Amino acid sequence: MSVRVVTPEEARALSGRHAIVIDIRGHEEWRREHIPGARALPLDKIKPGCFHEEALSQTDTVIFHCQSGMRTEKSKDQLIASAYPASAAIIEGGINSWKKAGYPVVTDRRQPLPLMRQVQITAGGLALAGTVAGAALNSVFYIIPGFVGAGLMFAGITGWCGMAKLLAVMPWNKSEM
């Protein structure tokens, strides 16, 4: 069985008519912004049989989306297997293309930015501050961007990011599910 790639227009027409919309991003991303009616089911929770409560049939469609379409594209086989016996569809371009098409999204700006964006902002800010301080004050401050760069390399190689772990326990990232 294959996955069907649909435009936001096609997804909107399908939703509600024997179709469910599943957002495969993390819960924090979903809480900040999601397609109305879309359910949050992070990719790591999607597996065969995960939709058993919906009693899906061959006439049903499960429409998956992520932020830009990259995660759904990479996970096609996993999504197809989880939707069986229903057909699986992926929104081309994810929620970004949904918004670009002018369709509404539920937005809660009180929710924190996704953790990886927080890491990028923090790492970039530290690198910039260390570089400016090293140029303007004392060359010893160049150790800061060096340390940040080493940390990012370590995170990329091992998959473990100390800065993400630290930011995850910050008060603004605490929320009830």
Residues with catalytic function: 66
Rounded CA-CA distance 129/125 in Å is: 6
Laid out side by side, the sheet with 39-40 consists of: 3-6, 87-91, 61-65, 19-23, 39-40
The residue ranges of DSSP E strands in the chain, in sequence order, are 3-6, 19-23, 33-34, 39-40, 61-65, 87-91, 106-107
Instruction: Provide the token pair at 99.
Output: 């918004």
Record the tokens describing residue 51, joined without a space. Answer: 């939709």
User: Is the distance from CB of 143 to CB of 130 less than 8 angstroms?
Assistant: yes
